[in-house]
Structure 1
């Protein structure tokens, strides 16, 4: 019925069909992808019930946005070589900004900074855009001198959109040009509410709060994503995707902030970029002493920078969290010398939690006076 050549062709086709059937068996495919493409597998990009070639191509070519930890210094950081900044860190953040705009292209950004703690040790707040106010309030609820200055500067501030974030100028005694800065980025009540619900679902106490974005957000992002030396208001978006700020809890508990990061990590699969903003070393009390010492940096700054990199680049997930907790026990004096309060190191713990147990890559390190300037990325 079949010639020898036809029979040979039939056998080859049958063999190919059987091989493909075996390869796309669910158990084999799961094991194969978990070994060959662990990031894609762990990030839920592969539908294990699907055997279509298109799903395989899409899953292996797609990656979630990374997580960053950035040291942002003082508000003068945006001017590159002003006192209180670090030129090398400024240039590194410029490179990060270029990647965000040209490669990562996030659907939205979630950011946590050392400048927003909730008023409770077990509460996380999720920021929604506030109406542009004419003043700011201090912690006791009264109008502050900073608030009066904001009122004067915001009198001519034009929002591009009602959902635009207003800026919080949460710093004192700086040159007038610092209070004339503008940074246009929109929020999203819809995304903020979704984040709040996810945090609650994961067992964390969370609520939404109407609030502007503090300088731990807009100063480094202005440096990275726009021209930090331009004071003139462009009247255009500096970031073309929504930004949501989430607070820290008013707590020195590393574990609860690690859990915050774990909960936020779920949004990476939706295209969210997570940025944590603080300082690898942040001891403002020692600035004067450091300046009078004649040294580039006080010894503990370099020591702690190295210890921090040792933790996050060689340990991941729970192991890194345990290392942070050991700092409180075994290196308590060094920890609290580098961070008299833990608000500026806490964002990095959130980053570890959001990293999906990845190791960090050190993008930059430096020490000056009593400040550390490390930058990290988790892929």
Structure 2
């Protein structure tokens, strides 16, 4: 009998320092993943990372994933970390097949790219043995929320094939505002708090269409996401779970005054 995955996930990976900073609550949340969140070991993982942004959907087709250090000016130990997870070529081709069948006319293949930090940093904490095959799927930041929701809908059959679908971004992501700790809620700036609260309420109430149209519906959307690349992985995870899926907030913490680590689980009704 095939292994099924009723759940999809959106993980806020925040800063690359999540890879080494023991003071971050989100790090401990991800380290408890297999014990407290998702004990079922997936057959493979499809990671939709904010840090792979292309004009058309792209999948990486490799036998072994290299570790990409796509960040600059951070402590030296971070550049020594490795996450040599196996690639998932069959999953990559299956993703391409599903997207093409759903009307996405062009899906590109990348046969050299490994895992960027939006994928390997959380996965290093979630599955430290690096023994689960991983395929990455890119986002298209010039498109909108509905587009990425439909991308996710096309991928829904993967849940019946033992694939863990994980979007990785940040619930709020304005790099120019980091460290400005004036505000309420333990130093969180008001605009970030208001956007983050709106998102939580919309998801838990099942107002997925509002989330798809967040740029028009959400307060301070442009402040929270000057560029939408870190938000669109949420739409993919949401779409893959289906319209009747129930959302659950599985972690919440803040860093640097405006960076939300809110992470969500979507449980399919079917």
TM-score (norm 2): 0.89
In structure 2, distance between residues paired with 1:292 and 1:306: 18
Which structure shows the bigger proportion of residues in strand conformation? 2
**C-alpha displacement at 1:356, in angstroms?**
2.1
In structure 2, distance between residues paired with 1:292 and 1:328: 25
| Corresponding position of 1:340 | 226
**C-alpha displacement at 1:252, in angstroms?**
3.8
Residue 78 in 1 paired to residue 19 in 2?
A: yes
| Corresponding position of 1:117 | 53
CA separation of 1:73/1:97 partners in 2, compared to 1, >3 Å: closer, same or farther?
Answer: farther
2:71 to 167, 171, 182: 171
Q: Is the 8 A contact 2:181 2:189 kept in 1?
A: no
Q: Is the 8 A contact 1:296 1:367 kept in 2?
A: no
**Looking at both structures, which has the greater relative contact order when contacts are Cα pairs under 8 Å and sequence separation is at least 6?**
2
| Corresponding position of 1:182 | 82
| Corresponding position of 2:33 | 96
Specify the SS of the correspondent of 1:169.
coil
In structure 2, distance between residues paired with 1:300 and 1:97: 34
**C-alpha displacement at 1:93, in angstroms?**
1.4
CA separation of 1:71/1:116 partners in 2, compared to 1, >3 Å: closer, same or farther?
Answer: same
How many corresponding residue pairs? 262
Q: What is the root-mean-square deviation of aligned Cα atoms in Å? A: 2.2
**C-alpha displacement at 1:206, in angstroms?**
0.9
Provide, for residues 87-115 of structure 1, a one-character-per-residue CA deviation record: whole Å limited to 9, x for no partner.
Answer: 2x2222122243677x3111111110111
CA separation of 1:198/1:252 partners in 2, compared to 1, >3 Å: closer, same or farther?
Answer: closer
**C-alpha displacement at 1:81, in angstroms?**
2.9
Which structure shows the bigger proportion of residues in helix conformation? 1
Q: Is the 8 A contact 1:98 1:224 kept in 2?
A: no
CA separation of 1:104/1:343 partners in 2, compared to 1, >3 Å: closer, same or farther?
Answer: same
Specify the SS of the correspondent of 1:104.
coil
Compare CA radii of gyration and give the structure with the larger one: 1
In structure 2, distance between residues paired with 1:362 and 1:338: 19
Structure 2 unaligned spans of 5+: none
2:162 to 268, 271, 282: 271
Specify the SS of the correspondent of 1:183.
coil
Provide, for residues 181-240 of structure 1, a one-character-per-residue CA deviation record: whole Å limited to 9, x for no partner.
Answer: 1112011222211211211111112121121110001111112222xxxxxxxxxxx232
Provide, for residues 141-190 of structure 1, a one-character-per-residue CA deviation record: whole Å limited to 9, x for no partner.
Answer: xxxxxxxxxxxxxxxxxxxxxx2100110000111111111112011222
Q: Is the 8 A contact 1:165 1:187 kept in 2?
A: yes
TM-score (norm 1): 0.65
| Corresponding position of 1:241 | 132
**C-alpha displacement at 1:76, in angstroms?**
0.9
| Corresponding position of 2:59 | 126
1:253 to 126, 144, 160: 144
Residue 361 in 1 paired to residue 239 in 2?
A: no
| Structure 1 moving runs of 4+ over 3 Å | 97-101, 291-295
1:351 to 224, 237, 248: 237
Q: Is the 8 A contact 2:13 2:122 kept in 1?
A: yes
2:99 to 178, 191, 199: 199
Structure 1 unaligned spans of 5+: 1-57, 130-162, 227-237
